[in-house]
Amino acid sequence: MNFKILSWNVQGCGDWRFLPAARQVLRDYKQDLVVFVEPRISGRRADSVIASLGFPNSHRVEAAGFSGGIWLAWYDTISVEVLFNHLQFVHFCISGKADGHSVLATTVYASSSSTGRKHLWPYLRRLTASITAPWVLFGDFNATLSLTDRKSCL
């Protein structure tokens, strides 16, 4: 089981600078699966961006206007089966085509409001209770453990 995953809060894929930057990242890191969160575009425009980056496979939780959105995009080196879709996360199984090994994965893009995040935690708790295989949980939880974890600019 050896595959690379990149999770990237892109804060918008519609800007003309996104595609050249994304292509450079893809060349530099050679990952099998990329998770883009907060793309701020959806529909045909999202299809076009994903295709122009060279991904033959993808799955999306559409952005709601300028908020949210989770894209999974992957190459044929792996197979991805989406097991559960939610506005704030995607739970899926990744299998390596070369060795057949698999791992469960959950990628999160949590609501920026604490009220919205309250809907996320019960789902993740139930999901955790059912996991019996290797599992990775990652993403942007829009929360910090302590105030010292935050960066701020004036």
Tens digits of residue pLDDT in 93-149: 999 988 889 999 999 999 988 898 999 999 999 999 999 999 999 999 988 878 777
pLDDT(153) > 70? no
- Residue corresponding to tokens 């894209």: 71
| Sign of the four-CA dihedral 33, 38, 44, 48 | negative
pLDDT at 58: 97
Task: Give the Å distances, CA to CA, from 41 to 19, 65, 110.
Answer: 13, 7, 17
- Cα(5)–Cα(150) distance, rounded to whole angstroms? 25
CATH fold, domain 5-142, is: Deoxyribonuclease I; Chain A (3.60.10)
pLDDT(151) > 90? no
Tokens at 74, concatenated: 């992957």
pLDDT per position as a tens digit, 37-79: 999 999 999 999 999 999 999 999 998 777 789 999 999 999 9
Bridge partners of 137?
Answer: 106
In the chain, alpha helices (H): 18-29, 43-52, 114-130
- Tell me the domain boundaries of the chain: 5-142
Picking from 138, 63, 62, the residue whose alpha carbon sits closest to that of residue 106 is 138
Contact by Cβ (8 Å): 15, 39? no
Contact by Cβ (8 Å): 36, 6? no
